[in-house]
Structure 1
Amino acid sequence: MSRGIYITANDKVTDHAIALLNSIRLYDTETPIVLIPYDDNYHSIAALLNQRFGVTVYEDLELIDRLSRQLHETFGGNFFARPNQFRKQACWFGPFEEFLYIDTDIVVFEKIVDNLNYLQDYDFLCCDYQHRGGIKNVFSEAVLTQGIFTEQDLQDLFNGGWWASRKGVIQEKDLLETFAECAQHPEFFDFSQKTSDQPIINYMILKRVAKRFNVVRREGGAPGSWAGSPQFVLNNDRPFDPTCNQPLQYLHWAGIRIQPGCPYWDLWAKHRYLGEEMPTFETPTAPVKSPKASFLKRLVNKVRG
């Protein structure tokens, strides 16, 4: 059975993609990786990632365009801040029987594809503590008051930057029907922090995939993964989470601008310039905060990763 990793990127996030791919290939030189173009400006990064890491471009570009058109027809052009994030949903219809999707603002610290072994018992995987922050940035209270989901359902909320499943678990009609359902009920969702795909895809998975597993619930617990978490410490150049005394599986700069002075900057730069001479950086005197910064700060005491 074929296994692989999907990423989305364009030329603008070349440095992020290099850091991610350097980290993946540090532990895994063989797993195939496919690039889903974020937009039409991807040819330079595609050539670079192919040359250095063997990454190939998603073959069925017409399918990606079709999904994008359907999204626009269903919701209109102004509903989402970043509608191109939905292109990652092409994962369901690509070449891999089992797949892992990873955002480019991530670096990994293990052979990350081995987490697909959990698909022996489940149909969908995530690996984060998003649920500990409550339903903000995903749903509104309407999903509870109107009985759309139970409190137990909402314990399976996940971050859209790392997830895994199998080809065929979601069909194209499932995706399109989800678009239609969600477009009829915008009151179910919290887009206040300008998220795009995460609320809709959480809705789809909670509604349509019963056999879900969050890897942080594995026996013995699991470390956090969010770069906004202050507790991680380095041990022999690998970050550990002292709350569970385990090494991190990956680190995700979700909602954080990756630049000198940001959390765990040295760790990210190490992976970006692995095998290269490290440039000299100056820390900005007044770093520009992302739109999510204030919201993420409120979560830091509630969410480990």
Structure 2
Amino acid sequence: MTDGIYILGNDVVYDQVVALLNSIEANAGKKIPICIIPYNERLDKVREEIAARDNVTLFENSAAITYWDNFATQIWKNYPRAQKTWREWGFSDLYELPMHRKFCAFDGPFDKFIYFDADTLLMGPIDYVYEKLDNYDWVVNDFQYKSDLKYIFDGSPELLKQVFNQEKLQSQIFCAGWFASKKHIFSQDMLVDILNKLEAGEADVMALVAPDQSLFNYMVLRSGISYYNFAYHDSEKATGNHWSSNFDVVNNILYDQERRLTYLHFMSIGASTFTQLCAGEDVNVPYRDVFLHYRYLTSPELRPQSFRVESPLMRLQKTTSSFIQQKVNNIKLNYRNFKDRITQ
């Protein structure tokens, strides 16, 4: 039986991918096979990085990629509220569709796996996670259950009561940026049943800010597969993992009240911020030196030695460019909405 790690990535998050790969190599305690799932075809730098590492491969099962792209498309294309909401926000009709490619992990080479978003760093060994998969189908380690349910499910209270077991609902929601599971954990019959339920109206429970996360939560809860959250079931020993927490740093390892973190998640910090940092710009990134340590662990000579502060003029240019782009997007959106109305 093969244990492994999946990462969703492309060249846009290249600096984060390199930092994550280096943190795994440094802190996992052993060499673990890693497979990078392509977010899209922008992979030139990622392919070069893969070629330099003997334990890293690219997920190239085109049939699986097509299947899960179509699976997500079928769900969201048949969900009118999602289409309407994303258009109002100025997004495409299939907002963040490539994020659903992390589902490809269920058809990959690893029997048991841990999935990492690219904006994470491994802080310690993960054998205990694979061991927990001997008894559970889905394993997480986060405090999403303490947050507002609306970030995962924002359907009406009446519909939520119809769809989910209310005793488990709040305690079993999770962040889809880091989780562990098994190959083919969702059978074909399960997937057909899930699609039927969603198309019958249950899709209306799902929140739309992070559609892949809402869908993962729906599938785990609705399928009834076994679930374990270290942060919930073993809260006395659990550590935080989000960058907003105040952790101690010792030799580039983060600790929460003297307990070593398993991973650090830079969730909600844009990839462009890390690109700017690695280009030598003085941008605000929590645990910046820790990130830079892992990003340049194997190439310390390339690490920026000083950081330049962006000039007011450059900042104004970027702000103006962003404003103009938003105006263009709004014009496109208004035109599309007008076109939709006259063709109805």
Bucket of the pairwise TM-score, normalised by the shorter protein: 0.7 to 0.9
1:45-102 residue CA offsets vs partner (Å, 9 max, x unmatched): 1231231353111241221112212322342284542011111101111111111111
Matched, 1:136 2:159: no
Give 1:12's aligned residue. 12
Aligned-residue offset at 1:176: 4.9
Structure 2 unaligned blocks of 5 or more: 78-82, 84-91, 275-282, 319-344
Of 254, 266, 270 in structure 1, the residue corresponding to residue 267 of structure 2 is 254
Distance 1:202 1:79, change over 3 A: farther
Aligned-residue offset at 1:30: 2.1
Aligned-residue offset at 1:218: 2.6
Give 2:255's aligned residue. 240
CA contact 1:71–1:179 (8 Å) conserved in 2: no
> In structure 1, how many angstroms separate the alpha carbons of the residues matched to 2:45 and 2:36?
12
Give 1:189's aligned residue. 206
CA contact 2:144–2:173 (8 Å) conserved in 1: yes
> In structure 2, how many angstroms separate the alpha carbons of the residues matched to 1:58 and 1:212?
26
Task: State percent identity of aligned pairs.
Answer: 28
Aligned-residue offset at 1:255: 1.1
Give 1:30's aligned residue. 31
CA contact 1:144–1:151 (8 Å) conserved in 2: no
Aligned-residue offset at 1:135: 0.7
CA contact 2:112–2:182 (8 Å) conserved in 1: yes
Matched, 1:100 2:114: yes
Give 2:341's aligned residue. none
CA contact 2:248–2:255 (8 Å) conserved in 1: yes
Matched, 1:213 2:213: no
Distance 1:152 1:67, change over 3 A: closer
1:132-165 residue CA offsets vs partner (Å, 9 max, x unmatched): 1121211015253445331433211110011111
CA contact 2:75–2:198 (8 Å) conserved in 1: no
> In structure 1, how many angstroms separate the alpha carbons of the residues matched to 2:194 and 2:212?
12
Distance 1:266 1:175, change over 3 A: farther
The residue type paired with residue 255 of structure 1 is S
Aligned-residue offset at 1:181: 2.9
Pairing 1:41-120 to 2, within 5 Å after superposition: 41-52=42-53, 54-76=55-77, 78-120=92-134
1:202-236 residue CA offsets vs partner (Å, 9 max, x unmatched): 0000111342111223374210001122x212234
Aligned-residue offset at 1:121: 1.7
> In structure 2, how many angstroms separate the alpha carbons of the residues matched to 1:57 and 1:172?
25
CA contact 1:6–1:91 (8 Å) conserved in 2: yes
The residue type paired with residue 260 of structure 2 is P
Structure 1 unaligned blocks of 5 or more: 289-305
Of 163, 187, 190 in structure 2, the residue corresponding to residue 174 of structure 1 is 190
Distance 1:41 1:173, change over 3 A: farther
In our comparison, the structure showing a higher alpha carbon Rg is 2
> In structure 2, how many angstroms separate the alpha carbons of the residues matched to 1:94 and 1:27?
24
CA contact 2:32–2:55 (8 Å) conserved in 1: no
Give 1:298's aligned residue. none
CA contact 2:124–2:260 (8 Å) conserved in 1: no
CA contact 2:133–2:181 (8 Å) conserved in 1: yes
Aligned-residue offset at 1:114: 4.1
TM-score scaled by length of structure 2: 0.75
> In structure 2, how many angstroms separate the alpha carbons of the residues matched to 1:169 and 1:16?
29
Alignment RMSD (CA, Å): 2.4
Distance 1:111 1:50, change over 3 A: farther
User: Does 98-107 or 24-33 show the bigger shift?
Assistant: 24-33
Distance 1:270 1:47, change over 3 A: same
Give 2:289's aligned residue. 266
Equivalent residue pairs, number: 282
